[in-house]
Structure 1
Amino acid sequence: MLLRAALAALFVSSAIVHGAHAQEKVLNVYNWTDYIDPAALERFKKETGIEVHYDVYDSLETLEGKMLAGHSGYDVIVPTAEPTFSRLIAAGALQPLDRGKIPAMAGEDPALLKRVETSDPGNKYGAIYLWGTIGLGEVASKIKPLMADAPLDSWDLLLKPENAKKLAPCGITMMDSATDVIPSVLKYLHHDPASTDPKDLADVEKTLMAIRPYIRTFASGGAIEALAAGQTCLVMSYSGDVIQASARAAEAKRDAVTYVAPKEFTQLWFDMLAVPKDAPHAALAMQFINFILQPGTIAGVTNTVHYPNAVPASRDKVDPAVRDDPNVYPDAAALGRSFTVAAVKEAAVRARTRMWAKFKAGH
């Protein structure tokens, strides 16, 4: 009996030590594809001894599905503010950030944090990771021969069917995201981007269906390679993706790729650092978020992926070519023309999803 008790005590002690060791040494991160500075992960491990298990996704639907199912095993996730981040908050799937353990969050731009409060009142559940705009990726050398007077600085280039028809031969790619496309088309049609009016949605459907015959492909992350390789000449996409494509095209000495924030408006989006409610290593998650928000760390991320961050103190550490590019860091006038999307009710989400499926199918 004494031997059995001793062995049991030893087993319990070993389990406690092993559990504490795991708590100290492992962090599970789930982020977008091609959306981190690998050197930052290496430095975090070197400085803390914590091993980072890093997985990626390419759609918000995938992320949301895992989070709502629960027990994902992830400690840090990077949802876009709308619609996923706000929906995860409403569903109780996230835990409030422990601001006392994330002092670096105090260094984030208050004006940008204010923009996110429509999704997260009081900024309780997330810190801004990166942000950007949605606009057009263009290969002007392929567009101009087909349309000498192409309105390269306007949404008309894509959304007017007579223009799309002319550019179809060089390839038009639409981002595969109803969440991002529909609000911008509503805005283009002078409707409220958050409108749930069936008549407004019908206007969007009419506009999109008019250009559907001229769209070659739908893509999310894949638009980077298609643009860089010259397989498409016009893309509606995220600013940073197009800018990455531009760098890859230049490196391969292919036709120049340019990101354009259309003169009428751009949609502003935010990707957030958040912690699932059932994160197995929540304390380490707070430590990781604080590390990422250090000016030197987040500057390295911006330099790698060409998306702006929300830490003003990082600006002097960002490569001048990136920092001074107005397509990466929009100026005050461009920000003044931008809008952010708001959450819509579930019935409206279903209506948008049905319309999007119809648009993609082309009938």
Structure 2
Amino acid sequence: MTTRRGWLAGLLGTAALGLSLLATDPVAAQNKELRIYNWSDYVDPEVLDAFKRETGVTVVYDTFDQMETVETKLLAGKTGYDLIVVTASFLPRHIPLGLYAPIDAAKVPNLKNAWPEIQGRLAKYDPGNKHAVNYMWGTTGIGYNVAKIKERLGPDAVIDSWKILFDPDQLKKLSNCGVHVLDAVEEMFPAALRY
């Protein structure tokens, strides 16, 4: 079970990593401020408050909703952030451009606790895990109210398929209850290809 303190420890490790991740002068080292750029809804504000209480470091936490926004900032040059959380699939484009400094593992002692299987997956994007460490991992799925879906599509409706989103006839039957998809090419394009 993950406790708030354990989660905070993970954030502290991630924050320490962030100081070595970007190939820019760390802002936090200058003024006890840690500037983080992350996906929206990934960190509870209470965790950031606890981090400040325990370390004395103020966190400036900005969010984004698309990797393209992050990539534009990175490619434009100095971002002003100490830690930026990116999607792994963007690393092969970013690393050759020198957007990330190599990680000094000696400064991240908790790195030895990284989940080997996930670090192995990350190595496909960052060979040798030299520039990135897994912060969060997950999959994208479909969430819905089964009773409401069967009401609209019938009792034998197939509910474990992307067909619900990509078959125009099925989608039309769901239009009166609302359908929402991620506004993220890196998530939806592979789903469409699998369909």
Q: Give TM class, smaller chain.
A: 0.7 to 0.9
Say whether 1:161 aligns with 2:163: no
Residues in 1 aligned to 2:126 and 2:44: alpha-carbon distance in whole angstroms: 26
Say whether 1:170 aligns with 2:172: no
1:50/1:185 CA distance change after superposition, 3 Å: same
TM-score computed with the length of structure 1 as normaliser: 0.43
Q: CA deviation at 1:120?
A: 0.5
Q: Does structure 2 conserve the Cα–Cα contact (< 8 Å) formed by 1:26 and 1:51?
A: yes
Matched residue type, 2:37: Y
Task: Please say which structure displays the higher CA radius of gyration.
Answer: 1
Aligned 1:1-363 pairs, distance under 5 A: 23=30, 25-82=32-89, 84-148=90-154, 149-188=156-195
Give the SS at the match of 2:160.
coil
Cross-structure match for 1:211: none
Q: CA deviation at 1:64?
A: 0.8
Give the SS at the match of 1:144.
helix
Give the SS at the match of 1:86.
helix
Q: CA deviation at 1:21?
A: 9.3
Give the SS at the match of 1:129.
coil
Q: Does structure 2 conserve the Cα–Cα contact (< 8 Å) formed by 1:143 and 1:170?
A: no
Q: Does structure 2 conserve the Cα–Cα contact (< 8 Å) formed by 1:28 and 1:53?
A: yes
Cross-structure match for 2:11: none
Matched residue type, 1:100: A
Residues in 1 aligned to 2:106 and 2:180: alpha-carbon distance in whole angstroms: 44
RMSD: 2.0
Structure 2 residue runs of 5 or longer lacking an equivalent are: 1-26
Q: How many percent identity over aligned positions?
A: 44
Name whichever structure is richer in strand by fraction.
Answer: 1
Aligned length: 168
Q: Deviations over 1:145-196 (max 9, x none)?
A: 21122211122222223322322222222322222112222223xxxxxxxx
Give the SS at the match of 1:130.
coil
Q: Deviations over 1:286-331 (max 9, x none)?
A: xxxxxxxxxxxxxxxxxxxxxxxxxxxxxxxxxxxxxxxxxxxxxx
Matched residue type, 2:113: G
Matched residue type, 1:129: Y
TM-score computed with the length of structure 2 as normaliser: 0.78
Q: CA deviation at 1:44?
A: 2.3
Cross-structure match for 1:218: none
Q: CA deviation at 1:137?
A: 1.7
